[in-house]
Amino acid sequence: MTAIIEKADGAAGRLSEAVEAVESHLHPKPSWDVADHPMPTGREEIWRFTPISRIRPLLEATPSDARLVWEETLPEGVTSRAVTEQEARTISTEAPVDRVSSLAASLSGGARLVDVPAEAELTQPVSIVLRGTGELVWGHTVVRIGHHARATVVLRHEGSARYGTKLDVIVGEGALVNFVTLQDWADDTVHGGQTSVLVGRDAQVRTVTVSLGGSLVRLTETARFAGPGGSLEQFGLYFVDAGQHIEHRLFVDHNAPQTHSQVDYRGALQGKGAHSVWVGDVLIRKVAEQISTYEANKNLVLTDGCRADSVPNLEIQTGQIEGAGHSSTTGRFDDEQLFYLQSRGIAPDEARRLVVRGFFAAIIAKIGVPELEEHLMTAIEAELAKSVAA
């Protein structure tokens, strides 16, 4: 709050900026200092859906030198190198917004920086596979995409780990980026952290976040704009099995005019204790005139005993916008859809499979990497085989 008073004491013209700095109670104050992110009790707004006991390894400041196995396939011109913790802080999009990512930033001993040069026209994706070998790992990754570059980046997580992470994606002016992360973990993995995307002026950014595996996955995904004209599409897909907790917390900060955002996350749940959480916050600041935003979350509950929490929030500080909306639906199979398909001779399990595949098809089609799209369809088939055909 001190910062606000200081700014307000400046030029009168800064008053609006000062008011702008008042963050909603929904969004914790970013800080590099772990002490600013105390151990949660589970009653805090941002932690109330999370089973604290299960994510505790990522909340305690236990140092670890372990790393995930990092396998990269970099198209020509793309580089990757280690940077110090100090440099990582300087180039990061924003400071950590929760305890997990602040611990990741301070205990990871620096970051891995991937650079896509300005004006690069990549015809192959930047592919990074991160594989856990059963240890506690803190990680910080920064992906920088230069101005007017065109790139697809795929970050794929596999194996077993307790993994606390901070991931920064900085997209330069006018760049065209497709950023895909895949949580394809083994069943015992606990993965928590923060992904922060900065959308450059007039840049077009699409993120696709796919969470399939792991015991607990809790990702906070924040996005801001570096200037006007940027466009952000965020797609998500999750498949939650018995006992699994998968949580996606999105925050889109419309802090610049003429920006556009669209969020579409879809999940399927099956089995006892399957729990998904989706929180979608959109803040439209006073300065963000002529913006448009729409966020949607859809959950398909396949069996009894599942729980899907879905909380969209829209905070609007200016009326001078093109449009803003959200929707959230959670339901079982649509009986009318199943009846229609079955009335054409299609057996009930096949009909349900068709509906689920169709439900996810629109998201998978956004990935733009054919072999990954195929992999996901196969993974979804395998998940479905557990419940739908039963």
Q: Which is nearer to another protein, 245 or 266 (CB)?
A: 266
Q: Can you tell me which of 43, 123, 335, 370 binds another protein, judged by CB under 8 A?
A: 335
Is 9 near another protein (CB under 8 A)?
Answer: no
Beta bridge partner(s), residue 330? 299
Residue of 233, 315, 350, 381 interacting with another protein (CB under 8 A):
350
Say which DSSP state 9 is in.
T
Residues with Cβ < 8 Å from 209, sequence gap 6 or more? Answer: 180, 181, 183, 195, 219, 221, 234, 235, 236, 237, 248, 265
**By CB under 8 A, residue 390 contacts another protein:** no
- Closest separation between CB of residue 265 and another protein, Å? 15
345 in contact with another protein (CB under 8 A):
yes
Which position has the token pair 């992110």? Answer: 37
Binding status of residue 341 toward another protein by CB under 8 A: yes
Question: Which region, judged by CB under 8 A, interacts with another protein, from 157-165, 198-206, 307-315, 335-343?
Answer: 335-343
Query: How far, in Å, CA of 283 to CA of 296, rounded?
Result: 15
Query: Residue 65 or residue 334: which is nearer to another protein going by CB?
Result: 334
Closer to another protein by CB, 76 or 335: give it: 335
Nearer to another protein, 38 or 358 (CB): 358
343 binds another protein (CB under 8 A): yes
DSSP track, 22-71: ---TTSPPP-S-GGGSPPP-S-STTTTTS-HHHHGGGTS--------EEE
Min dist CB 238 to another protein, Å, is 16
- Told to check if 355 binds another protein by CB under 8 A, we report yes
Count of residues touching another protein (by CB under 8 A): 24
354 binds another protein (CB under 8 A): yes
Q: How many CB atoms are located within 10 Å of the residue 42 CB?
A: 12
Binding site for another protein (CB under 8 A): 334-337, 339-348, 350-351, 354-355, 357-362
